[in-house]
Structure 1
Amino acid sequence: MPPAPSERERMTAPLPTGVPPQPVHPGPVLRNRGFLRLWAAQLVSQTAQNGLMFTLLVLITERTGSSIYGSFLVLAFVLPSVVFSIPAGVMVDRWHKRTVLIVTNALRAALAVLYLLLDRWVPALFLITLCFSTVGQFFTPAESASIPALVGRQQLISANALFQLTLTGSQFLGMVILAPALLKTGGPHLFFGAMVAGYLSAAALVAWLPRGFEPELVRRPMSVRGMVRMVTDDVGEVLRTIRHDPLSKLALAQLTVSSSLAMLFGLLVPRFVRDVLDIAADNAVFVFAPVALGAVLGLRLLPWITRRLPKQLVVTLGLFGVVLALVALASVELIARALEQAGAGQFIDAIGRERPRFGTATLSVLVLVTMACGVPMGFFYALVNAPAQTVIHERAPAAMRGRYLGTQLLLANSASLLLLLAVGAAADMLGVSVVLLLYAPVVLAVAVYGLTVQAGAGRVAVADGR
């Protein structure tokens, strides 16, 4: 067995063969037809998936008359990712990514048919959701591993930024526009029918991906009897590789805290709107719209920023910004009270405080402060995911890309599962604002860890005379 690399070798090693040379596609990344098809398939499939979450929450609440089953539904979405993400990554490294993408989209279309047929039986909805999420564990690493195989290194940050922007946009399209509109127009059967068409369209789009765009597949022999041993060996190989690469370890930690932050917001925003702002929970989409605005601005500026600053530094700065935004959001009541004492309330009255502005929400100092905090939250959050994901794409050896991404999903979804189990009770006991404030040190710790890793890389570079 070769000796482990020294600190200098780990810190200054050139990027491994995670991103092989690709044909240059000048101009916007969407001029790359292969990437365009993959991106379009992501837009369709993610919009359908987010619409499915909304539709199932509505259906299960109506069928059971209890909101606690909504938590069980989220658990049904998250649990397969904890169990299957690593084995899925191992399999994806052995299978052609194009084939995996086609089959997983076709399987999800078939599961949508089952939703259509069994929508009145609640246990069936949970069982189908478990299957649906399990299939998704194979789709996600295959999709993500395909990005660096389709675009060149110069376009990788733009490609990841576009995927992150599409992920955010698909949540709005699926949960705010598509699902409510179809449910109101034709009920759940119309939505599930549209879902079947959407996933079949996504399967057709990825079927048009160019053949042979992937790196060489893992060709180790595989048998059913040796499956557990094979997964264990492969995971051990990936963990050893990550352990000797501080930048990969840092990127995985950054993506884990980023994903758990998104889950935290998804769980707490309705409570925040109701308990802190004292307005109807269905106004959350309007009050927190500035978060999306900030995210779009951040993702648009991200390629320009990463041309001037190292990607790892951009992520670290983004995390520090998220910490400040979390503290500000947790303190909106104090900030609003201070502004009202300074006369801001009179200004609001002068422009029509009592007139409804967003659905049923009135324009108040507290709502305005919350909206103002949303812009930097979205902006700084946008600086985290795409650059950290790009680091993983660049540093993951091509033959290990699926396992790298499976490890990433396992860490992120395990953290999300812990939050799912703990946040509801913590919010009941301590309040939403306190939970947000307590999460800020977690993000701060990862940001400081990033500075430590980068400082170590800087010292080694100076020692080498770089």
Structure 2
Amino acid sequence: MLALALLRDPRYRTYWIALFLSQMGTWMQAATQGWLVLELTHSAERLGLVVALQFLPSLLFSLPAGVLSDRYSRRNLLLLTQGGMAVLALGMFILIATGWVRYPHVLVFAFLYGLFNAMDLPVRQAYTVELAGKERYPGAIALNSFGFNTSRLLGPALAGLLIAGFGLSWSYLVNALSFVPLLWVLLKSPSLAVERGKGGVVADALEGLRFVWGEPLVRQVVLLVGLSSLLGMNFQTIVPAYARLELGLDAQGFGLLMSAVGLGSILAAVLQAITARARPLRAVLGSALLGLSLLALALPLPPGWAAFAFALAGLGMITTLINANTTVQLLAPDRIRGRVMSVYSMVLLGSGPLGAYLSGLLIEALGARLGVGAMGALTLAATLWMVRRPWPKVLAPTPPLEPSLPTPQAASD
């Protein structure tokens, strides 16, 4: 398996472990943030606004981030983004621990954290190809997804224990400290030169957009991801609202419900690691499963069955994202990979602000159960609309690249 082969590479293994620790802290913070907002405001709509502000920078700044990723050292850019997020988490820890935190502080923090994340995601995805090499990228994305979703499983559960035992602030401190190993690994890694584009920032950004729009399969996949993200992947709003407003769970119960999403996500990552192939049709099936699972939550389910439905939703979400991401990465030429992935990130995360706020409004108006069910029904309808055209079943690991776009091999460290 490509994923296991990558773990035998010392440099990639060290990077993957450090990234996993950072993601663990991030998921602890994400779970705590939702609980913090509900404690401060008791409003699903205001929680949706926080999540919307956190993803808004991805809509505004992903394209410039992609241009920077193709012009400057990706390692140095990651040092900037990861360090910035660590400082922000430490600042929130101080505000909460001293009792000074207010709802406007959370809004500002969410926006700034999202700003760094808008830069981080396309750069990190392009950097992964540098480390793994394009021929091993399907294994890398399966391995990274396994780590990401294992942290999604464990992080919220640990956050629930910390909240119950020590209060809300400690998750932010743990997250700040979790960036240290990754920053250390990046500092010890060589800074690779990249081939800079000769055009301006706008021209370079438009080149990535033209590729996404001009490649039919990439366009279909990115559109599917955008619709699924807009309508069904708003778990930072949906899960805390459903746990508190519908099921009446405490912090530990909420953490376990978030972990159920992670458990389903891990299963999806394991299944993908077994094949290590991009199957675009699986992205469609995953989106349909996501919609059906959320629709099932409109029923009056006990906590155990609700956790099972959220686990299936996590399975559907990650099945969609892994196959979509791998498809786009394999078809993207090396020369413009950062810009292509910035378009993907803009669509994936940029649709989050409207989706998060829409989720909050529906839950506020219909109640948690019917509001979540409505998002599931919309997700399923959008998926059915997408399958009006045929989808290829399998994408070869190394498809031929567009001949009109020269593809010099990326440097490998």
Task: Give the TM-score normalised by the residue count of structure 2.
Answer: 0.79
Name 2:226's counterpart in structure 1: 256
Is the deviation greater in 165-174 or in 134-143?
A: 165-174
Q: Which of the numbers 118, 121, 125 marks the counterpart of 1:137? A: 118
- The 5-angstrom pairing of residues 447-466 of structure 1 reads 448=387, 451-454=389-392
**Counterpart code for 1:295:** S
Q: Does the 8 Å contact 2:229/2:355 carry over to 1?
A: no
- 1:82 aligns to 2:59 (yes or no): yes
Distance 1:100 1:244 in 2: 29
Q: Does the 8 Å contact 1:45/1:202 carry over to 2?
A: yes
Q: Does the 8 Å contact 1:92/1:142 carry over to 2?
A: yes
- The 5-angstrom pairing of residues 40-55 of structure 1 reads 40-55=17-32
Distance 1:258 1:79 in 2: 17
Q: Which of the numbers 155, 161, 180 marks the counterpart of 1:200? A: 180
**Counterpart code for 1:134:** L
- 1:418 aligns to 2:354 (yes or no): yes
Is the deviation greater in 428-437 or in 415-424?
A: 428-437
Q: Does the 8 Å contact 1:32/1:151 carry over to 2?
A: no
**Counterpart code for 1:311:** R
Name 2:249's counterpart in structure 1: 280
Name 2:280's counterpart in structure 1: 312
Name 1:268's counterpart in structure 2: 238
Residues 321 and 210 (structure 1 numbering): CA distance in 2 closer, same or farther, change over 3 Å? same
**Counterpart code for 1:29:** L
TM-fit CA distance, 1:69? 4.4
Name 2:142's counterpart in structure 1: 161
**Counterpart code for 1:208:** K
Post-superposition CA distance 1:19-52 (Å, at most 9, x none): xxxxx98943222233223323322222222323
Distance 1:330 1:56 in 2: 23
Q: Does the 8 Å contact 1:145/1:401 carry over to 2?
A: yes
**Counterpart code for 1:438:** L
Q: Does the 8 Å contact 1:318/1:380 carry over to 2?
A: yes
Task: Give the TM-score normalised by the residue count of structure 1.
Answer: 0.71
**Counterpart code for 2:210:** R
Name 2:379's counterpart in structure 1: 439
Where in structure 2 are there 5+ consecutive unaligned residues?
396-413
Q: Does the 8 Å contact 1:89/1:402 carry over to 2?
A: yes
Post-superposition CA distance 1:152-182 (Å, at most 9, x none): 44532222122222222323333320x3444
Match of 2:189, SS state, is coil
Distance 1:151 1:211 in 2: 15
**Counterpart code for 2:176:** V
TM-fit CA distance, 1:403? 1.4
Match of 2:234, SS state, is helix
Q: Which of the numbers 37, 60, 64 marks the counterpart of 2:14? A: 37
Residues 152 and 272 (structure 1 numbering): CA distance in 2 closer, same or farther, change over 3 Å? same
Name 1:73's counterpart in structure 2: 50
Give the aligned length.
Answer: 385
Post-superposition CA distance 1:221-259 (Å, at most 9, x none): 7xxxxxxxx333222211222222112112212332343
Residues 313 and 403 (structure 1 numbering): CA distance in 2 closer, same or farther, change over 3 Å? same
TM-fit CA distance, 1:287? 5.7
Distance 2:231 2:147 in 1: 18
**Counterpart code for 1:133:** G
Q: Does the 8 Å contact 1:330/1:434 carry over to 2?
A: no
Is the deviation greater in 49-58 or in 380-389?
A: 49-58
Distance 2:52 2:291 in 1: 27
- The 5-angstrom pairing of residues 117-132 of structure 1 reads 117-119=94-96, 120-122=100-102, 123-132=104-113
Residues 379 and 424 (structure 1 numbering): CA distance in 2 closer, same or farther, change over 3 Å? closer
Q: Does the 8 Å contact 1:47/1:170 carry over to 2?
A: yes
Where in structure 1 are there 5+ consecutive unaligned residues?
1-23, 222-229, 334-364, 458-466
Q: Which of the numbers 378, 395, 399 marks the counterpart of 2:335? A: 399
Q: Does the 8 Å contact 1:96/1:217 carry over to 2?
A: no
- 1:218 aligns to 2:180 (yes or no): no
Residues 63 and 316 (structure 1 numbering): CA distance in 2 closer, same or farther, change over 3 Å? closer
Percent sequence identity over matched residues? Answer: 22
Distance 1:440 1:381 in 2: 12
TM-fit CA distance, 1:291? 4.5
Bigger Rg over Cα: 1
